[in-house]
Amino acid sequence: MAWAQDSESRVLMVRQTAGQKLWTLPGGKVRPRESLEEALLREVFEETGLRVQAGKWIDMMDRPDRGAIMILYAVNFMEGSPALAGRLNKEISQVRYSLKLPRDASPSATYFWQRRKTNGSVS
């Protein structure tokens, strides 16, 4: 998952089309023979149309109910704080920057947002 903040400290969020249609952080599954960084960059682009550079590993969350481990990386925009490209795919219905955690956020987005806020990384 990607933690991307623009120049106004807003966090990049995507809204899922499946299930409860929750807001979450961009990211997804790692494909066979793909590194974590490659998966991160690919997923952010597929979900938002934005090109980013992977930064440092920030945090992780175990999701035994889903058989998954969620890993959070800081990402940097290739060019400042770009406008959203509006490029959506079948998994994402909306993309936006947010100053506050949406009420209808996914468990992983809520977990990471609260931990970042506790650490003083979110306004």
| CATH number of residue 87's parent domain | 3.90.79.10
Structural domain boundaries, residue 42: 2-118
Is 123 within a domain?
Answer: no
Is 47 within a domain?
Answer: yes
Is 10 within a domain?
Answer: yes
Among 90, 87, 94, 84, smallest CA distance to 15 is for: 94
| Count of structural domains, the chain | 1
Q: What is the pLDDT along the chain (123 residues), one digit of tens a residue?
A: 999 998 888 999 999 998 899 999 999 999 999 999 999 999 999 999 888 999 999 999 988 787 889 999 999 988 755 666 555 678 899 999 999 999 999 999 999 999 887 776 654
Question: DSSP 3-state assignment of 101?
Answer: coil
List b or e across 70-98, with b for residues whose CB sees 16 or more CB atoms inside 10 angstroms. bbbbbbebeeeeeeeeeebeeebeebebe
- Report CA-CA distances (Å) from 25 to 31, 33, 92, 109, 121: 19, 23, 11, 6, 15
